[in-house]
Amino acid sequence: MQRLRTWNERFRTRDSKERNLKQALGEIDRMASALGLPDNVRETASVIYRRALSEDLLPGRSIEGVATAALYAAARQVGNPRSLDEFTAVSRVEKMELTRTYRYVVRELGLRVQPADPTSYVPRFVSRLDLSEETERRARELLDDAANAGITSGKSPVGLAAAAVYAAALLSNEKVTQSQVSDVADVSEVTIRNRYKELLEASGTVSA
């Protein structure tokens, strides 16, 4: 009887984990589709989630929270990051829960996640605003100059990228408003105003 109970418990545990994994992978696919993330990000996220499940990191945390954290970490690892606000918009968990769970998963699994590079956001912002390749090139140059000048440390990479795209559009004589860039990047117009002036100064360009 004891052996039967042991087997029954094992089957129950296995079934529970399989249901958990199926739900989590469904969430990862749903969010990745909404965010336009490629297959390699989804695959990396599924590996991270499977590790979290196998190492028993789920108790006390929601499946949705760990799935979102896994996808957020995967996007950064693969070099295709999205902002926390973008993830919060498509996730079923609040931003605070996502932040806490992300830090927990990264720490417990020992994930190597580099700080997001502002230039990694530039192509997407330029594409969504229908701006030119010249604007994209100039935005990258502005960010490189700012990094060399040491003014990017501690600042939001998303805000820096948005400001660089706005400044580059001005330099390229392309019509785009701070409001349009704000909507695409999901950062405030105040952030764009403050950062774009800093970027222009760091590049030696007179601020408009």
pLDDT > 70: percent of the chain = 91
Q: Is the per-residue pLDDT at 140 higher than 90?
A: yes
CATH code: domain 118-202 is 1.10.472.10
What is the model's pLDDT at position 164?
Answer: 97
Please report the DSSP string for 85-134 in residue order.
Answer: HHHHHHSSS-HHHHHHHHHHHHHHHT---PPPPGGGTHHHHHHHTT--HH
Mean pLDDT value across the chain: 91
Contacts (Cβ under 8 Å, ≥6 apart) of 16: none
What is the model's pLDDT at position 7?
Answer: 60
Q: Which helix H or strand E contains 6, and what residues bound it?
A: helix 2-35
pLDDT grade for 115, boundaries at 50, 70 and 90: confident
Amino acid identity, position 91: S
| Three-class DSSP category at 45 | helix
What is the model's pLDDT at position 111?
Answer: 95
**pLDDT by residue (tens digit) across 6-27?**
666 555 556 678 889 999 999 9
- Examine domains 2-109 and 118-202 and report if their fold is the same: yes
What is the model's pLDDT at position 147?
Answer: 92
**Superfamily, domain 2-109:** Cyclin-like (1.10.472.10)
Q: Which sequence spans correspond to the domains of the chain?
A: 2-109, 118-202
**pLDDT by residue (tens digit) across 52-111?**
999 999 999 999 999 999 999 999 999 899 988 899 999 999 999 999 999 999 999 999
pLDDT > 90: percent of the chain = 76
**167 closest CA partner among 147, 195, 146, 187:** 195
Q: Provide the whole-model pTM.
A: 0.79
